[in-house]
Amino acid sequence: MSERVVIFDTTLRDGEQSPGATMNQEEKIRLAQQLEKLGVDVIEAGFPAASEGDFQAVKAIAATVKNAQVAGLCRALESDITRAFDAIKGAVNPRIHTFLATSPLHMKHKLNKEPAQVLDMIEKAVRFAVNLTPNVEFSCEDASRSERDFLAVAVEKAIACGATTINIPDTVGYAQPQEFYDLIKFLLEKVPNAKKAIFSVHCHNDLGLAAANTLAALSAGARQAEVTLCGIGERAGNASLEEVVMALKTRAHYYNLETGVSSTQIFPSSRLLSMIIGQPIPPYKPIIGGNAFAHESGIHQAGVLKCAETYEIMTPQSVGRAGNEMVLGKHSGRNAVKARLEELGFNLSEDQVTQMTDAVKNLADKKKHIYSEDVEALVLEEIYRLPDKYRFRRLSVVSGNTAMQPVAAIVMDIDGEEKQLSSFGVGPIDAVFNTISQLTGRSPVLKQYAVNAVTGGTDAQGEVTVRLEEGGHKSVGRGSDGDVIVASAKAFINALNRLAKKEEERECARL
């Protein structure tokens, strides 16, 4: 019989902390719903004490999620723990996840604490948390660089005080697989009350070993894996959910471990994350990349045609890369649009379905067929966007290789008031961005600009991602349209709305 591994997803916490991956509350809720559909056991929704916005988002997720546990991260401080519980207490099964560093390096330079003081803090924090909920996880930050004997004492203390899950993080991606295997094995054998808790691991990818270290720890006896979609996270990221889950599934007879993840939801989940944060899935990304199931070599092609297993150790369908495709068009009715939305995991209100039906028909006037990716892009564009301080209306651009300098004329709403302006640039996109900046009275610096086709074909929608920085604050914006210049304007305005939203949050925090 295979043993069960708990999948703890921290995309909304550790993943969202990574540069360029910030999400608004509606986007977090949408992704949390998809994570639940994916079948993860625990959703770490955020760090409630970090900001009012994070607190409200975690609270909203806790109220929305029906099956998965919802965890809130907090430092080993009573104020943080209270704040976390206040955010998650509405969940079906709330989990407090508190942490404290145990490595000599962190204790000396970050905490300025002696080992005895750290043990005392662990005891006080876990006992306090257990009084709020029996579902408490304690993490020994920088465990892989901690002294093993002290780490064992810290773990024993946390379990004795009531922690039911013990997390052993490779916080800086320093460990090697065999070394990490030995560490987990050591703790399970050394800690006298180890059987009273589930041991978890949270591995970072600084040396490209996060998934390997996670799998090694599971082989040693850990039974919870902390992962993120696409491996997003601080610095080089985390162990990716898709790599860990599919390794356990593909090599089931090797590991004898199983998860509750529905693997056919892996690609839809990753695609949704990609659209929300505006970061394309790299083509060579294992499991979900565009090239993961592509074969160009004649020898490979011949082998796959004769027997797919010659060069494919899993099928595209097993991770949700293929399936029945209902193509929508301008003659598609409301019921067809609603059915497609539900298949894609979008549970929209009747008014939102009507809004999406109109959007699909408008897009169908511009391109012949509407595919799943087009519908997903429209949902994010029409339904899950931020409340608009700035809203795009229409534009006209004149450009070419003539002597005339490119010029853009733009009409947009600013705080509900329609305004228009035209301005020049060195190219059509530059002209559009200059005009929008002048209209809004802002002066952001464009740090990155990227264009991707949502689907194939010459009539495919263009999906544009921009990264802006203004006054030391950064934001990511995305937009899609059959015209890449229009998509660029939408993305730029979306990023400005995110900057404006952050300004509002900072102003509210000061009041």
36-63 pLDDT, tens per residue?
999 999 999 999 999 898 999 999 999 9
Q: What pLDDT, on a 0 to 100 scale, did the predictor assign at position 323? A: 45
The C-alpha angle 99, 266, 12, rounded to 5 degrees, equals 30
Question: Residue 313 is encoded by which pair of tokens?
Answer: 């150790």
Does residue 297 share a domain with residue 345? no
Does residue 126 share a domain with residue 84? yes
Would you say residue 440 lies in a domain?
yes
Q: What pLDDT, on a 0 to 100 scale, did the predictor assign at position 327? A: 63
What is the residue range of 442's domain?
390-510
Does residue 266 share a domain with residue 188? yes
Q: Render each residue's pLDDT in the chain as its tens digit; 511 residues.
A: 679 999 999 999 999 888 778 888 888 999 999 999 999 999 999 999 998 989 999 999 999 999 999 999 999 999 999 999 999 999 999 999 999 999 999 999 999 999 999 999 999 999 999 999 999 999 999 999 999 999 999 999 999 999 999 999 999 999 999 999 999 999 999 999 999 999 999 999 999 999 999 999 999 999 999 999 999 999 999 999 999 999 999 999 999 999 999 999 999 899 889 888 878 888 889 999 878 877 555 555 566 567 777 777 888 889 987 544 456 777 777 888 888 888 776 778 898 899 888 888 888 887 767 777 788 778 877 777 666 789 999 999 999 887 689 999 999 999 989 999 999 999 999 999 999 999 999 999 999 998 988 777 777 888 898 989 998 888 888 888 889 999 999 999 989 988 888 787 777 666 6
Q: What pLDDT, on a 0 to 100 scale, did the predictor assign at position 299? A: 57
Q: What pLDDT, on a 0 to 100 scale, did the predictor assign at position 304? A: 54
Q: What is the pTM of this model?
A: 0.83
Looking from the CA of 194 toward its CB, the CA atoms found within 13 Å total 19
**Cβ-contact 422, 435 below 8 angstroms:** yes
Picking from 92, 49, 53, the residue whose alpha carbon sits closest to that of residue 72 is 49
Backbone angles phi, psi at 453, to 5 degrees: -80, 130
Residues 452 and 465: their CA atoms lie apart, in Å, by 8
CATH number at residue 437: 3.30.160.270
Does residue 272 share a domain with residue 138? yes
Does residue 394 share a domain with residue 377? no
Would you say residue 370 lies in a domain?
yes
Q: What pLDDT, on a 0 to 100 scale, did the predictor assign at position 179? A: 98
Does residue 352 share a domain with residue 250? no
Does residue 424 share a domain with residue 371? no
Q: What pLDDT, on a 0 to 100 scale, did the predictor assign at position 237? A: 96
Contacts of 309 (CB under 8 A, 6+ apart): none
How large is the C-alpha radius of gyration of the chain? 25
Question: Residue 379 is encoded by which pair of tokens?
Answer: 């949902």
**Cβ-contact 118, 102 below 8 angstroms:** yes
Would you say residue 328 lies in a domain?
no
Single-letter amino acid code for the residue at 106: H
CA pseudo-torsion sign 485, 488, 490, 492: negative
Question: Residue 226 is encoded by which pair of tokens?
Answer: 């902390």
Would you say residue 347 lies in a domain?
yes
Number of domains in the chain: 4
**Cα distances (Å, whole numbers) of residue 488 to 10, 46, 183, 212, 394:** 31, 31, 50, 39, 12
Does residue 413 share a domain with residue 369? no
Does residue 472 share a domain with residue 414? yes
Does residue 454 share a domain with residue 373? no
Q: What pLDDT, on a 0 to 100 scale, did the predictor assign at position 309? A: 75
CATH number at residue 94: 3.20.20.70
Does residue 363 share a domain with residue 242? no
Backbone angles phi, psi at 74, to 5 degrees: -155, 150
Does residue 354 share a domain with residue 269? no
Residues 54 and 50: their CA atoms lie apart, in Å, by 6
